[in-house]
Structure 1
Amino acid sequence: MKIGVFGGTFDPIHIGHIISVLEVKIAFGLDRVIFIPARQSPHKETMPTGNEERTAMIQKAIAGYEGFSMDTFELDRYGKSFTYDTAKYLKDEYPDDELYFLMGTDQYESFDKWYRNEELIDMMNFIVMMRHSDDMEISAPFIRADQLVVEVSASLVRRRAKEGLPYKHFLNEAVYEYIKENALYEA
């Protein structure tokens, strides 16, 4: 089985995440994609919204998509989330499957700084999801994905919510309702 792995803080998960991942799943014939929310990215200083809120939003966003699931491995640990630790865990969980880590160009550009990055190359395949604004060459063993992109960011959603500006169109309806019901990001 070919399994995609998509990690991030997902604070909040938005339609840009879902559309890009779904398009990569189709283009590369992935059987499954596992969304893995991070407790805290090693590359970000601020802590995200609570784990319970983010997992609830992910569950709502991926509901109804065949082959989409979530694993809370990184949330169940303490400290920063390193892809190496997650890859080791996934290799143990799915020893007979082929793993594909889905990443953005920002992650690709900083990969040389990742913890145990050379070992990661032996553990997983890496698909680099391009944005429309990206104009760069992707070197092997990384695989370039020119999937459909909706240019949305979680920071834009949070900023719009805080400023009282419209942001519903960036989210799955159930995620939007959850944010409103729980007054997330409003101040």
Structure 2
Amino acid sequence: MPSVQPPASSNPLVLFGGTFDPVHRAHISAARAVSKVLGGAHVHLLPNAVPPHKAQPMADGEQRLAMLRLACREYPELVVDDWELRQTGPSYSLNTLRHFRDQCADRPLIFMIGADSFANLHQWHRWQEYATLCHLAVVPRPECALAPDKVQAAFPESDAAQLLQHPSGLRLMLQRPFLDVSATAIREALEKKGDCPALDPAVSTHIRRHHLYNVATTTPSTNYEAP
């Protein structure tokens, strides 16, 4: 999908929330792809404090922030943002979108989600309000079900150029990369083997050094020295 250089006045803001428990290569590839399509827009990666739709993270917020910073260190378009971690109560995306909509006024606000989340958006807290707050950038997942008609109708499909001309209410469907990595499988691999190829080497080193995800070994597989 070709990238679109936005007008200076549009200055879009992209949000990518999740547990990032741990952050893996598919997260980074997806965030960079959305940034590129939107002309190099900054993508804010926001780890949840208390995810309302998932099991609670195994790693605490500070550790997940540290891993995100390591994974994003070479990509200036990716911004590690601790806003959700600093809030109390469940990390409802609606509250996050309201906050950042207030911050960016009429600029385009784009919320990145996987195709599985888009298919289940109608089960989210007050999802009908999202179209007044943001656009969606939907990242594909293998063999994912289609979203219900009412969800698709709430966010008409469009292209990057149109998203950059409006503050909210449209949907960009990416064709690649696939979010085809399972965080559960990564944690299982870490517990059994102490490493996983789906992780940035610096993130793997950090996990071993801090004994996260039941990793017992601290034997390095890389020369990178994590803080």
- Does the pair score TM above 0.5? yes
Q: What's 1:120 paired with?
A: 130
5+ residue gaps, structure 1, are none
Q: What's 1:147 paired with?
A: 176
Give 1:150 deviation, angstroms: 5.8
State whether structure 2 residue 187 is matched by structure 1 residue 158.
yes
* 1:23-60 deviations in Å (ceiling 9; x for gaps): 12212325110000001211113344111100000111
Higher relative contact order (CA 8 A, sep 6+): 1
Alpha-carbon distance in 1 for matches of 2:174, 2:128:
21
Larger Rg: 2
State whether structure 2 residue 55 is matched by structure 1 residue 27.
no
Give 1:97 deviation, angstroms: 2.4
> Taking every aligned residue pair, what percent have the same amino acid on both sides?
27
Alpha-carbon distance in 2 for matches of 1:111, 1:63:
31
The correspondence for 1:180, drawn from 180, 195, 208, is 208
Alpha-carbon distance in 2 for matches of 1:95, 1:150:
30
Give 1:151 deviation, angstroms: 2.2
Q: CA RMSD for the aligned pairs?
A: 1.9
Instruction: Report which of the two has the higher share of strand.
Output: 1
Alpha-carbon distance in 1 for matches of 2:120, 2:145:
16
Which runs of structure 2 are paired with 1:1-187 in the superposition (5 Å)?
Answer: 1-134=11-144, 136=146, 139=152, 140=156, 141-149=170-178, 151-164=180-193, 166-167=195-196, 169-186=197-214
Residue 153 of structure 1 aligns to which amino acid in structure 2?
S
CA contact (8 A) 1:87 1:124 kept: yes
Residue 28 of structure 1 aligns to which amino acid in structure 2?
L
**Normalising by structure 1, what TM-score?**
0.91
Give 1:173 deviation, angstroms: 1.5
CA contact (8 A) 1:16 1:153 kept: no
Alpha-carbon distance in 2 for matches of 1:24, 1:105:
14
User: In the comparison of the two structures, how many residue pairs are matched?
Assistant: 186
